Amino acid sequence: MRYIFVILILAFWGCNKVTQQSMYVQKSNTTLSPPSISVDEAFFNIQTLIRVNDVDPKINIRYTIDETEPTQNSPLAKKHIIVSETGIYKFKAFQKEIKSSNTVSIETIEARKVNWIGLESNDPNETYNSGISVLTDHKKGDWNFRSDEWYGYQDSIVQFSFILEEGEVVNGAVVSTMIDQNSWIFSPENVRLTYHFEDGHKEKHELSIPDCIVQSKKQMNYLKITTPPRYPKKIDITVYNMLSIPDWHSGKGLKPWLFVDEILVL
Amino acid sequence: MDDDLIIGHGDFKYKVISDWGNLDKLTNPVTDCHEMVQDSKGRIILLTNNTKNNVIIYNKDGKLIETWGNKYPGAHGLTIKNEGGEDFLYITDIKKSFVVKTSLSGRQILKINRPEEFDTEDKKLNFVPTETAIAENGDIYVADGYGSQYIYIYDQKGQLKSRFGGPGKEDGQFYNCHGVAIDERQGTPRILVTAREKNQLKYFTTSGEFESTIELPGAYICRPVIRGENIYLATIWSGDKGDNTGFISILDKDNKLVSAPGGKIPQYEGSKLKKMTQAYQVFKHPHDVCVDDDENLYVPQWNAGQVYPMKLIRV
């Protein structure tokens, strides 16, 4: 009898606790959104600034520069970070009582201004043609592919050719693109870098991207080929797009888009 | 309670009820919850593109009152207008490409189809209306947000009067004129149109002459909702247009962003708003905001896992 009485008391207490549960979303069940981070020049010559745009004093932004995930013990990100080397910076937001955010990665590439005397490319789609100079202005485009920083193609093969000044050393190239599969913008499947030398011979380097057909989150996509130092008179950077959008996508069978905002000669 | 999450800034802060309006998903399912309004009786009306019940009518506590509608697979825009003491609904359908005016019980009163006068010999006009706004004289402004990028002006009988806007980069042009409203806060009515991909709102005269732009960087806006001296906006994507983003924006009488429930603290450099991003993962693609007579908010969401709307209680 005594046990039954105790159980009834506990049951009543338990029910009473349930009725005190809040009807509102709780902090402990909430996740922070990723921090807002921007970089002045993702492709920089001497140095650039990464800016931390969040100002909420309740939120701490922590970061790493060794490609590991930031933790509560990682350094606090100040308002800006001076960058003078190629690298990947990772940022994460933390707030007491709230789950930490996903990680934001910022990639910076040290890229000198190579002296070239000629640049040619296929004509982009006329809607996304802001002039070929955007490909070498060292300005990173934002996520708005309609902005003046992007060149948009639906061609299967796109080629960029640089004629270089005599004696210019080249260590490779980067094609800066984006992936936004909801907007039918995919990674290409292959990039080829061809050096043409004064004596007529050629040297080819390739980057294959087999993952281009799989589902991917929206991201900036740097397609980088590095080589030993070379002194070509001309370089061709040839981008091979998928012939059609994969079957899992609503645009299956149609031509995917390639968006390029910069070609870096390293 | 101390653990309750509070979102928003300044005078516009809210607690969030995430399970407001939850119903039996078998008998009263929703797909995308697109828009919500409050009628003269204080009831909350939701429009969803689920043809089992396109219109779901709740009381403010989220209790189901009634449902109707199974003919609107592309149900998208919902506007309410009291005309002569009676409430009427204006619904746009983006799959069937029409606008209908109905009574509160669903009786169709007027239908506006694709304006064929703009067809050319080799191309039919792409008409995918996303929103309506109704003027005091009965004129119906139809935003063709997923179609031709024009705002079409019809009279109250559905006769086309004119159009303005169109696609492009110029001040008076759009990439996705998703929403439209009539702003009478300063006396003279002005047409306020969403330029979603540009992260802007644009003012026009009632006859369609461009006047000015409000810049809201980082906010991919659905429609402006004007209540009292404020404008409320659902932002379906925010920041860099990432998946599962979005927040609510509240502008003051001078169209300055004063609160962003779910978003980060608004920051201005001079008169220029810095790019806004999401602060907490509370919303997934909010598509509209309904402000009730208690100044609480209701937020229907697009592509959010077929969830029912959220209610935000002002604190």
pLDDT of A229 higher than 80: yes
B91 confidence band (pLDDT: 50, 70, 90)? very high
Chain B residues closer than 8 Å to A142 by CB = 240
Q: What is the DSSP string of chain A?
A: -HHHHHHHHHHHHHHHHHHTS-SSPBGGG-BBPPP-EEES-SEESS-EEEEE----TT-EEEEESSSSPP-TTSPBP-SEEEE-S-EEEEEEEEBTTBBPPPPEEEEEEE-----EEEEEE----GGG---GGGGGS-----S-TTSTT-EEE--SEEEEEEEEPTT--EEEEEEEEEEBGGGTB---SEEEEEEE-TTS-EEEEEEE-GGGGS---SEEEEEEEEEEEE--SEEEEEEE--SS--TTSTTTTSPPBEEEEEEEE-
pLDDT (0 to 100) of residue A128: 83
- Residue A189 or A21, more confident: A189
Q: Which of A27, A98, A143 sits opposite B240 (nearest CB)?
A: A143
What is the token pair recorded at A57? 């004093």
> Average pLDDT of B108-116?
97
CA angle A251, A254, A256 (to 5 degrees): 85
What is the token pair recorded at B226? 């004007």
Torsion of CA B21, B309, B288, B85, to 10 degrees: -10
- AA letter at B139: D
Separation CA A194–CA B61 (nearest Å):
67
Separation CA B244–CA B225 (nearest Å):
22
- Checking DSSP bridges between strand A104-110 and strand A43-44, what pairing results, if any? parallel
Q: Which of B4, B241, B281 sits opposite A22 (nearest CB)?
A: B4
Lowest mean pLDDT among A125-129, A233-237, B7-11, B81-85: A125-129
Residue B24 in 3-state DSSP?
coil
Q: How far is A128 from chain B (nearest CA, A)?
A: 12
Cβ under 8 Å to A: B residues 225-244: 239-243
pLDDT (0 to 100) of residue A11: 54
pLDDT of B295 higher than 50: yes
- Checking DSSP bridges between strand B268-269 and strand B290-291, what pairing results, if any? unpaired
Chain A residues closer than 8 Å to B280 by CB = 30-33, 98
Whether the Cβ atoms of residue A108 and residue A89 lie closer than 8 Å to each other = yes
The answer to whether the Cβ–Cβ distance between B281 and A54 falls below 8 Å is: no
A215 touches chain B (CB under 8 A): no
Q: Which of A24, A53, A98 sits opposite B274 (nearest CB)?
A: A53
pLDDT of A120 higher than 90: no
Q: Express each pLDDT in B150-186 by its tens digit.
A: 999 999 999 999 999 999 989 999 999 999 999 999 9
Chain B residues closer than 8 Å to A24 by CB = 1, 4-5, 15-17, 313
B216 touches chain A (CB under 8 A): no
pLDDT (0 to 100) of residue A18: 45
The answer to whether the Cβ–Cβ distance between A26 and B277 falls below 8 Å is: no
pLDDT (0 to 100) of residue A142: 82
In the numeric block, the tokens 């402006």 are attached to: B224
pLDDT of B141 higher than 60: yes
A55 touches chain B (CB under 8 A): yes
CA-nearest residue to A27 within chain B is B5
Chain A residues closer than 8 Å to B282 by CB = 25, 30
The b/e string for B99-117 (b: 16+ C-beta within 10 A; e otherwise) is bbbbebebeeeeebebbee
Q: Which of A25, A36, A98 sits opposite B277 (nearest CB)?
A: A36
What was the ipTM of the complex prediction? Answer: 0.91
Whether the Cβ atoms of residue B195 and residue B202 lie closer than 8 Å to each other = yes
Percentage of chain A modeled with pLDDT above 90:
61
B210 confidence band (pLDDT: 50, 70, 90)? very high
CA–centroid distance for B110 within its chain: 21
The answer to whether the Cβ–Cβ distance between A27 and B274 falls below 8 Å is: no
E strands, B94-205, in order: 98-103, 108-112, 131-134, 140-143, 150-154, 160-165, 180-183, 190-195, 200-204
- AA letter at B233: L
B125 touches chain A (CB under 8 A): no
Q: How far is B283 from chain A (nearest CA, A)?
A: 11
Chain A residues closer than 8 Å to B243 by CB = 217-218
What is the token pair recorded at B54? 């396109």
Whether the Cβ atoms of residue A33 and residue A101 lie closer than 8 Å to each other = yes
Q: Which of B17, B197, B279 sits opposite A33 (nearest CB)?
A: B279
Q: Which of B242, B265, B282 sits opposite A25 (nearest CB)?
A: B282
E strands, B148-254, in order: 150-154, 160-165, 180-183, 190-195, 200-204, 210-215, 219-227, 230-238, 247-251
pLDDT of B225 higher than 50: yes
Q: Which of B5, B278, B279 sits opposite A27 (nearest CB)?
A: B5
- AA letter at A168: E
For B305, which DSSP code? S
CA angle B34, B246, A34 (to 5 degrees): 155
pLDDT of A17 higher than 50: no
CA-nearest residue to A21 within chain B is B1
Percentage of chain A modeled with pLDDT above 70:
92
CA-nearest residue to A56 within chain B is B265
Chain B residues closer than 8 Å to A181 by CB = none
User: Which of A30, A32, A33, A140 should one mutate to test binding to chain B, selecting the residue with the greatest count of B CBs within 10 A?
Assistant: A33
pLDDT (0 to 100) of residue A13: 54
Phi–psi pair at A213, nearest 5 degrees: -90, -10
Phi–psi pair at B198, nearest 5 degrees: -90, 0
What is the token pair recorded at B201? 């709102």
Strand B219-227's sheet: what is its strand order? B219-227, B230-238, B247-251, B257-259
Q: Express each pLDDT in A58-112 by its tens digit.
A: 999 999 999 999 999 999 998 999 999 899 999 999 999 999 999 999 999 888 7
The answer to whether the Cβ–Cβ distance between A27 and B278 falls below 8 Å is: no
Q: How far is B159 from chain A (nearest CA, A)?
A: 34
CA-nearest residue to A96 within chain B is B3
